[in-house]
């Protein structure tokens, strides 16, 4: 497929924080294909997305630096020469954020300030694209959720990501940094964390299905939209290449809106194995249940021409193939 950024990345120096993680590694593979020089920064923290298995196809074609974004010296070394910074390092688990809001704050807010300060001081003209999340909207008051929707996060992760995103807006407005934020919805695909639900509930659903097991669907009626990972990496590549995206915030999303129960049905249908059981939403998680959520992606469609290309059934099929083809054990 031809994209408008196809020549943009050849010869460019690109830094990806959280580069050994799910989206970061998929993005790195695309960038290698496009001829960019790619450095991945990842702290490889246990319980997060960083996994060497994600990089097996490009291990010799990229630089992997194991360090934390809050390591100022190390970060400066990479930032100084970066044309583009894809800022994906983050903590994504809602439960972890409630169990330890301090660590979540350090990763999702403090580390973001570190990165922005480093760019401001050492490379103010770099393009920066930040992985934000629909989680900051909280429980929607109207659907689909546009970028104008109020931010009412329902967990510590949402609060800290909201603050991290606003720092990207602030550093654009005050210092002129060329930042863009993408508010991701549920992203799935090869290289996602499937060991547990820390990235998305789909992770354990997929693991269970590949293992021919049974998984639980909590509630079941709640509507969701999902993006296959290549649609998400496409959005990142577009956002960094287009001047129209500077200083902006965009939702991602999908026109296929399906209930959790329908999603489960689609998954076991595509897999032709596995089962699921619909059960009530656990009481202790009720306070962070956001009900139905799906977003409007009209803004990024009209301004950057982005639309999701991969249908849910197709994306689920490719994802299951990835883990079924001998990849599963590297993710357990």
In the complex, which residues of this chain contact its own copies (CB under 8 A)?
A: 98, 101-102, 105, 109-110, 113, 117, 148, 150-151, 153-156, 159-160, 162-163, 166-167, 170, 173-174, 287-288
Tell me how far, at minimum, the Cβ of 187 lies from its own copies, in Å. Answer: 24
Tell me how far, at minimum, the Cβ of 174 lies from its own copies, in Å. Answer: 5
Name which of 117 and 196 has its Cβ closer to its own copies: 117
- Given a contact cutoff of 8 angstroms between Cβ atoms, the answer to whether 307 and 297 are in contact is yes
Tell me how far, at minimum, the Cβ of 159 lies from its own copies, in Å. Answer: 5
Residue 293: phi and psi, rounded to 5, are -145, 130
Tell me how far, at minimum, the Cβ of 155 lies from its own copies, in Å. Answer: 7
Tell me how far, at minimum, the Cβ of 282 lies from its own copies, in Å. Answer: 14
Name which of 173 and 311 has its Cβ closer to its own copies: 173
Name which of 127 and 149 has its Cβ closer to its own copies: 149
Rounded-to-10 torsion of CA 167, 308, 137, 266: -140
Name which of 12 and 178 has its Cβ closer to its own copies: 178
**Residues facing residue 110 across a β-bridge:** none
**Residues facing residue 289 across a β-bridge:** none
Tell me how far, at minimum, the Cβ of 256 lies from its own copies, in Å. Answer: 29
Tell me how far, at minimum, the Cβ of 81 lies from its own copies, in Å. Answer: 25
Distance between CA 219 and CA 199 in Å, rounded? Answer: 19
Q: How many CB atoms lie within 10 A of CB 73?
A: 8
């Amino acid at each position: 497929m031809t994209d408008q950024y196809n020549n943009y990345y050849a010869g460019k120096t690109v830094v990806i924080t959280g580069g050994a993680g799910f989206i970061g590694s998929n993005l790195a593979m695309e960038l290698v294909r496009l001829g960019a020089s790619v450095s991945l920064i990842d702290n490889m923290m246990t319980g997060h997305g960083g996994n060497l298995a994600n990089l097996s196809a490009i291990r010799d074609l990229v630089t992997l630096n194991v360090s934390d974004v809050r390591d100022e010296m190390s970060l400066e070394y990479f930032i100084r020469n970066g044309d583009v910074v894809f800022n994906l390092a983050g903590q994504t688990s809602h439960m972890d954020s409630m169990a330890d809001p301090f660590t979540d704050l350090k990763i999702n807010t403090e580390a973001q300030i570190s990165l922005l300060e480093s760019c401001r001081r050492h490379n103010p003209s770099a393009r920066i694209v930040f992985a934000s999340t629909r989680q900051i909207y909280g429980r929607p008051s109207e659907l689909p959720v546009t970028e104008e929707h109020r931010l009412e996060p329902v967990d510590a992760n949402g609060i800290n990501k909201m603050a991290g995103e606003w720092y990207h807006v602030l550093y654009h407005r005050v210092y002129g940094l060329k930042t863009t934020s993408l508010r991701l919805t549920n992203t799935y695909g090869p290289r996602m964390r499937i060991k547990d639900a820390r990235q998305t509930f789909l992770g354990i659903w997929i693991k269970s299905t590949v293992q021919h097991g049974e998984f639980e669907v909590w509630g079941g009626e709640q509507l969701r939209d999902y993006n296959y990972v290549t649609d998400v990496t496409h959005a990142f590549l577009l956002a960094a290449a287009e001047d129209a995206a500077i200083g902006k915030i965009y939702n991602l999303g999908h026109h296929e809106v399906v209930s959790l129960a329908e999603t489960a049905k689609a998954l076991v249908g595509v897999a032709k194995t596995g089962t699921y059981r619909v059960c009530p939403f656990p009481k202790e998680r009720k306070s962070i249940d956001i009900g139905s959520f799906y977003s409007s992606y009209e803004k990024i469609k009209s301004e950057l021409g982005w639309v999701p290309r991969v249908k849910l059934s197709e994306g689920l099929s490719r994802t299951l193939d990835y883990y079924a083809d001998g990849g599963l054990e590297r993710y357990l």
